[in-house]
């Protein structure tokens, strides 16, 4: 990898907490190619604010001696990067012959319309609504009643891509019914345990060492929970008990680098194998199963040659590029202390710098 572009990648991330307004209070970046970690850096603050002041539209700082610096090993709420773990767990069941991608979801969850398949859930072509307010029914007798009503008659066009949290929530429920085990156990025993990803799990977690997220209060949030740290940010995942197919996993950049290398290696890392090469190809080949493929808005110049990855609402993202055997993990706490639409330009810029570092590497034409 070209050292000048690698340095630009790191310096660009280091600048993210310094903008006006800053994109995030803090961030961690980790990029590599083959077995080599080419860039690894932390910047800014994992915890800086104690609350959000809506009248002044700004965070309320903690005393300066209580600000906690971002570290390489800081744990993040991954938000929708959780979907990748659910997708891998599902494809593991396919590989073992226990689940078929083109099987109707109704074979496992009878409330679903008969045309929706497991593949539709993974590709977001089920027609299900983007989300439903389960959190509003958290104390009711049937938290999932809105999902069953939507699943019986999806409101969107079937077969057309329409990104939806409900797809991965449904897949979560399907996997638990199929295996008789909780999703967190499937992820632990099938992915994070074999790979030695000891910092990756569902919450809640003790707050120390975890990046803070939002001061979650109405009207800007969907629930009144206060400042969150070690508890899942997503309100629906919270309503579902913290373990959900679409959100809820916490991890570090270093652990996610292991996952990236595993997929780039065709499903193996060291002596552990969690998937075969054909199953990895099913996940990553366009249009992807659970993974987004060739999306310039966060992949920058890595897009266009089969790069795969995902983003998370809390400020997380990863991209892996089989064409160059490279990967990028960028984790930030963009929703600390309040959720905002900061856009993905910094993610795309970092990915572009990685693409140029690889293409301009010494010895390459």
Residue 365 has pLDDT above 50, yes or no: no
**Average pLDDT for residues 242-257, to the nearest whole number?**
98
Alpha-carbon distance of 213 to 230, in angstroms, equals: 9
CATH number at residue 274: 3.40.710.10
Q: Is the peptide bond before 49 cis (omega within 30 degrees of 0)?
A: no
> Does residue 141 form part of some domain?
no
Q: What is the pLDDT of residues 46-63, one digit of tens each?
A: 999 999 999 999 999 999
> Does residue 151 form part of some domain?
no
Q: Structural domain of residue 265, as residue ranges? A: 3-85+184-359
Alpha-carbon distance of 324 to 343, in angstroms, equals: 26
> Does residue 106 form part of some domain?
no
Over the Cα atoms of the chain, what is R_g? 20
> Does residue 101 form part of some domain?
no
Alpha-carbon distance of 304 to 318, in angstroms, equals: 16
> Does residue 113 form part of some domain?
no
Alpha-carbon distance of 217 to 219, in angstroms, equals: 6
**Average pLDDT for residues 125-149, to the nearest whole number?**
93
Structurally, the chain folds into a number of domains equal to: 1
Which tops the pLDDT comparison, 360 or 352?
A: 352
> Does residue 112 form part of some domain?
no
Number of other CB atoms surrounding residue 141 within 10 Å = 6
Q: What is the pLDDT of residues 139-198, one digit of tens each?
A: 878 899 999 999 999 988 899 999 999 999 999 999 999 999 999 999 999 999 999 999
Residue 215 has pLDDT above 60, yes or no: yes
> Does residue 226 form part of some domain?
yes
> Does residue 210 form part of some domain?
yes
pTM above 0.95, yes or no: yes
């Amino acid at each position: 990898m070209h050292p000048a572009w690698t340095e630009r990648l790191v310096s660009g991330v280091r600048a993210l907490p310094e903008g006006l307004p800053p994109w995030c209070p803090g961030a961690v970046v980790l990029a590599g190619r083959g077995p080599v970690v080419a860039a690894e850096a932390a910047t800014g603050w994992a915890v800086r604010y104690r609350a959000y002041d809506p009248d002044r539209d700004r965070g309320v700082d903690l005393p300066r001696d209580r600000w906690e610096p971002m570290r390489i090993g800081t744990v993040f709420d991954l938000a929708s990067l959780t979907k990748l773990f659910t997708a891998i767990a599902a494809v593991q069941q396919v590989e073992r012959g226990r689940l078929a991608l083109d099987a109707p979801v109704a074979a496992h969850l009878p409330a679903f319309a008969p045309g929706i398949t497991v593949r539709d859930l993974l590709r977001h072509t089920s027609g299900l609504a983007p989300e439903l307010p389960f959190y509003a029914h958290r104390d009711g007798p049937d938290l999932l009643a809105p999902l069953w009503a939507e699943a019986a008659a999806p409101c969107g066009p079937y077969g057309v891509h329409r990104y939806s949290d409900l797809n991965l929530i449904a897949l979560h429920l399907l996997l638990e019914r199929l295996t008789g085990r909780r999703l967190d156990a499937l992820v632990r025993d099938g992915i994070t345990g074999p790979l030695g990803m000891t910092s990756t799990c569902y919450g809640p977690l003790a707050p120390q060492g975890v990046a803070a997220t939002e001061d979650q209060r109405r009207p800007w949030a969907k629930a009144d929970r206060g400042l969150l740290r070690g508890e899942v940010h997503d309100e629906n995942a919270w309503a579902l008990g913290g373990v959900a197919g679409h959100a809820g996993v916490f991890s570090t950049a270093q652990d996610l680098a292991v996952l990236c290398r595993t997929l780039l290696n065709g499903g193996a890392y060291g002596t552990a194998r969690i998937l075969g090469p054909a199953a990895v190809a099913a996940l990553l080949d366009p249009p992807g199963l659970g993974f987004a493929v060739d999306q310039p808005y966060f992949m920058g110049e890595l897009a266009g040659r089969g790069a795969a990855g995902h983003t998370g609402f809390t400020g997380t993202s990863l991209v892996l590029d089989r064409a160059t055997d490279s990967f990028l993990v960028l984790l930030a706490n963009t929703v600390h202390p309040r959720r905002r639409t900061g856009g993905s330009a910094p993610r795309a810029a970092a990915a572009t710098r990685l693409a140029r570092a690889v293409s301009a590497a010494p010895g390459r034409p």
